[in-house]
Amino acid sequence: MSTGVTISSISDYAILGCGSVGFAVVEDLVDQGKDVLIIDRDESRVESLRDQDLDARRADIREPEAAELIADRSVVLILASDVEANKQAVTQIRETNGDQFIVARASDPVSGDELADLGADIVINPSTVIADSALRALESGELEHNAATLAEILTDTDGRFAIVTQSSPDPDSIASAGALQAIATHLGVESDIIYLGEIGHQENRAFVNLLGIDLHQWDDIEDRSVYDTVALVDHGSAEGLELDIDILIDHYEPDGEFDPAFADIRPNMSSTSTIMTKYIQEFDMNVTEEVATALLYGIRAETLDFKRDTTPADLTAAAYLYPFANHDTLEQVESPSMSPETLDVLAEAIANRDVQGSHLVSNAGYVRDREALMQAASHLLDLEGVTTTAVFGVAEETIFLAARSKDIRMDVGSVLEDAYGEMGEAAGHSTQASAEIPLGIFTGIDISDDTRDTLLSLTEEAVKRTLFDAMGVDEGSNGN
């Protein structure tokens, strides 16, 4: 039922049934300056309320008399512990007054549904409210404890603090590292953000350049002994790092075996940027424009602009960051200029596309920038009638494949795992995934300069056939 009532603008309330729950609500409303009329059938309780200068009247909330007494009230809260009495009260009010806004107390989901069917606009269950409050208090206490532990580890740092991102860091990893660096600076600890691979995707390079984030390539660091505290942020593997891990923060379970002094792993959150935003708040820091912009973009990128696996925590974090972020910078990051390499890969992918039904697979040939494959897969997803794309190419004697999907019935990450998991490596989400396969695995031919083109030709149909089979597509159903 829609009444058009805006609760914040209401000043006249009625409370029916004033036990402990009802009295707590009355106290809060009176403190807000609201006009509250209390109806209860217990005469001694009514007298006690009047002694406290409250407007209380005796009546049985199940009878028409109670509905008539509150006829001029905009909002009615029916809060008796007797749920059957609450049901009768809802019925009487609807029959007598019609369109008042009613909040009614239930005892379980069944009685909640019954009260809603009788006409209650909002149904509350005290046990659920208490449980939710307890969980929020637990989360708040856990965060406070974690922040104190993190601060203790950081302030014990004698040298420099190394913050390690993914090998080829994405916005979530870069933003999270930037936030942890800001926390370290807040605590007086000097730190460096480190990555082991390369920053490939154009959006990621634009992200780093526009925000002025200072990242260090691991191979370029001559004296690694200066780092006596090390954190992995949004990074599940320490392979190639050769340092002990002290801190681990991620929204995915790590791939390797770790025994850090501090770990905060939250698979129930969609991004590590969300986790780091909570720490920024817990440390009561003045978040800078650069950090706020980075974290907001990290959340948006990881949730596909709040369209993938978004949680209330992600939305709350984004709402906190929004006023501090530079939205002109965000727009520049999201619309970087296309490099000649990416344009070449996209052109090759368009020319070689094979469309079966709504699924497109394309061979982009030999590529220098494998990140361009993901950008090509994203652009091809805009073609009319296409819901899933996969673009593959060869670099460093390996077939790299990037896939995107907007088909809610398909988990493209699982598709690539089924297709190539046993012969290579596959990883990703329901909407975005990638795979790496040794070039010669389909043919058994040794790789040499003379056989590279032959291998690519031989493997093209095998790669496409394997992928279409994993998608459940009959080849030849539609071709473009």
Report for 112-116, 221-225, 451-455: range of highest mean pLDDT: 112-116
Phi, psi (5° rounding) for residue 462? -65, -40
End-to-end CA gap in the chain = 51
Strand pairing class (75-78; 354-356) = unpaired
Collapsing DSSP to helix, strand or coil, 35 comes out as strand
For 239-243, which contacts have Cβ atoms below 8 Å and span 24 or more sequence positions? 240/167, 240/196, 241/164, 241/196, 243/162
Residue 174 predicted with pLDDT over 70: yes
8-48 confidence digits (pLDDT tens): 445 689 999 988 888 888 998 888 888 999 999 999 999 99
Residue 55: pLDDT band (50, 70, 90) is: very high
Residue 73 predicted with pLDDT over 80: yes
- Under a CB-based contact definition with an 8 Å cutoff, are residues 316 and 303 in contact? no
Residue 412 predicted with pLDDT over 80: yes
CA distance 105 to 77: 8
**Nearest CA-CA partner of 435 in 466, 461, 403:** 403
- Under a CB-based contact definition with an 8 Å cutoff, are residues 233 and 182 in contact? no
CA distance 191 to 229: 9
Residue 3: pLDDT band (50, 70, 90) is: very low
Which CATH entry fits the domain spanning 10-125: 3.40.190.10, 3.40.50.720, 3.30.9.40, 3.30.930.10?
3.40.50.720
Residue 442: pLDDT band (50, 70, 90) is: low
425-441 confidence digits (pLDDT tens): 888 777 888 898 887 66
pTM tops 0.95 = no
Q: Which residues, other chains included, contact 198 with Cβ-Cβ below 8 Å and sequence gap of 6+?
A: 168, 217
Q: Which residues, other chains included, contact 266 with Cβ-Cβ below 8 Å and sequence gap of 6+?
A: 250, 251, 275
Residue 446 predicted with pLDDT over 60: no
Residue 259: pLDDT band (50, 70, 90) is: confident
pLDDT score recorded for residue 288: 93
Between CA 302 and CA 325, with CA 199 as vertex, the angle to 5 degrees is: 50
Residue 476 predicted with pLDDT over 70: no
Bigger pLDDT: 399 vs 333? 399
**Nearest CA-CA partner of 211 in 277, 301, 288:** 288
- Under a CB-based contact definition with an 8 Å cutoff, are residues 375 and 342 in contact? yes
CB atoms within 10 A of CB 205: 16
On the 0-12 / 13-18 / 19+ scale of CB atoms within 10 A, 110 is exposed
Collapsing DSSP to helix, strand or coil, 36 comes out as strand
CA distance 256 to 270: 21
CA distance 230 to 289: 26
247-250: strand order across its sheet? 215-217, 191-195, 160-164, 227-233, 247-250, 262-265
What percent of the chain stands above pLDDT 90? 42
pLDDT score recorded for residue 370: 79
Question: Which one-letter amino acid corresponds to residue 278?
Answer: K
Residue 77 predicted with pLDDT over 70: yes
Architecture of the CATH domain 340-471: Roll (3.10)
Residue 359 predicted with pLDDT over 80: yes
Collapsing DSSP to helix, strand or coil, 433 comes out as strand
CA distance 315 to 333: 21
147-160 confidence digits (pLDDT tens): 999 999 999 999 99
Alpha helices in 32-125 (DSSP H): 43-51, 64-69, 83-96, 109-118
Collapsing DSSP to helix, strand or coil, 237 comes out as coil
**Domain range list for the chain:** 10-125, 138-333, 340-471
* CATH hierarchy code of domain 138-333: 3.90.1640.10
Beta-sheet strands, E only, within 337-455: 354-356, 359-366, 388-395, 398-405, 425-428, 432-438
CA distance 224 to 242: 10
Collapsing DSSP to helix, strand or coil, 364 comes out as strand
CB atoms within 10 A of CB 478: 14
